[in-house]
Each structure stands twice: as C-alpha cells, then as structure tokens.
Amino acid sequence: MRIVLIGPPGAGKGTQCQRLLEYLDVPHLSTGEMLRQAVSGGTREGQQAASYMESGQLVPDELIVGMVSQRLMRPDCRAGCLLDGFPRTLRQAATLDEFLERQAMTLDGVIELAVPRDELVRRMLLRKREDDDPEIFSKRIESYQRQTAPLLDYYARQGKLKSIDGLGSAEEIFSRVCEAVEGFVARHDEPEDDSA
C-alpha cells in the first residue's frame, strides 16, 4: 500500500500516522522528520531548509523532491510506504506522479484529515507547545491553505482522495482512517476495467 496522509497543522496527523503505520506495516516517509534530522545533522540540505522551517514556510520543492526520491528508491519502500507531509505543493505532487510512473509504482490513495480552521486554532491554544508560536502557526495554516489544499482537488480528479472528518476521539478518527484504507484495498483488488 502506498498512501499519502494530508492534513493542516494541528489536525492530529502525527497520532493517526503512528497508528496507521502499525496497521499497514510499511515504512514511514515523513519529510518533516527527514528535514529535522538534516538540520540537526548540519547537512547542506539542513542548512538550506532551516530558515524556511523556523518561519513556518515550506522549503523549496527542489530540495524536498531530491530527498524523497532517494528515499523511495530504497528497497524497503518497494512494497509500499506511508507518505506524511509530502507532497505539499502541486509541483511536488506532479513530480511524485512522474517518479512513481517511471518506477512502475502507484499511489493507492490519499487521505485528508479535515479539520476546520477555528478548531485548529483552539487546539493550538490548548497545546501551547514551544514550536506553536501563534504567528508561526497561522503562517503554517496559511501556507497549507494556499499551497497544499489545492492538492485535494488534484487527487479528487484522479479518483484517489478520501476526505475524512478529523473531529472526534483519536479512536473514532482512526476507525474512519481504516475504513478509507479498506476502500483503497478493495479498489486495488478490483479487476482492471478494460471496457473503455
């Protein structure tokens, strides 16, 4: 299974990702995690990414795409993976599609964790983590809406999107996530329609 999980900052993506990883038993491809490692390791990519990350902006597409394609080429990703935090722009999505096609791989489905903006802000205020500076948090929401939300339409047109309600307990949300995955599995197992 190759699945993308999309959601605005504060949607609870981290929690759902962890559960989903256990359920699917596939590698976790988190670009945020890869970038944080690059920053703490002081690599060239990390140095380039740091200022964007600190200010709540997306890092340039070229930097991310290189990192992700290298990771996807590793043998453990052959049978599938959970893409978390990537793609985040239309350009990244198109590049991913081209890459997967060249590698004869497919994306089974995309899950959107949908949470209204008011609720995201309310959660952020409750959480008050160090990296949740309200101004930076708003920037991250803005960049989600401007750059990432258009992907929902992109994947809906490919018939790959399943949007689920991100409100409720972690258990309730996870059962919706599993339902979405089962839908992808069913579609995956359907015989190809060659009548067209």
> In terms of CB distance, is 62 or 179 closer to ligand AMP?
62
CB 87 within 8 A of CB 96: yes
88 near ligand AMP, rule: CB under 6 A: yes
Instruction: Please give the Cα distance from 113 to 163 (Å, whole number).
Output: 6
CB of residue 59 vs ligand AMP: minimum separation in angstroms? 4
The residue (of 57 and 183) whose beta carbon lies closer to ligand AMP is: 57
Among 19, 23, 32, 167, binds ligand AMP (CB under 6 A): 32
Contacts of 61 (CB under 8 A, 6+ apart): 89, 91, 92, 95
Q: Could you say which residues in the range 166-195 bind ligand AMP, by CB under 6 A?
A: none
Question: By rule CB under 6 A, what string of x and - marks binding of each residue 111-150 to ligand AMP?
Answer: -----------------------------x----------
Sheet holding 81-84, edge to edge: 28-30, 81-84, 2-6, 109-114, 161-165
| Per rule CB under 6 A, count of chain residues that contact ligand AMP | 15
What angle (nearest 5°) sits at the alpha carbon of residue 93, between those of residues 90 and 98?
A: 125
Q: Which is nearer to ligand AMP, 46 or 109 (CB)?
A: 46
Q: Does position 58 bind ligand AMP by CB under 6 A? A: yes
Interface with ligand AMP by CB under 6 A: which residues?
A: 31-32, 35, 52-53, 56-59, 64, 85-86, 88, 92, 140
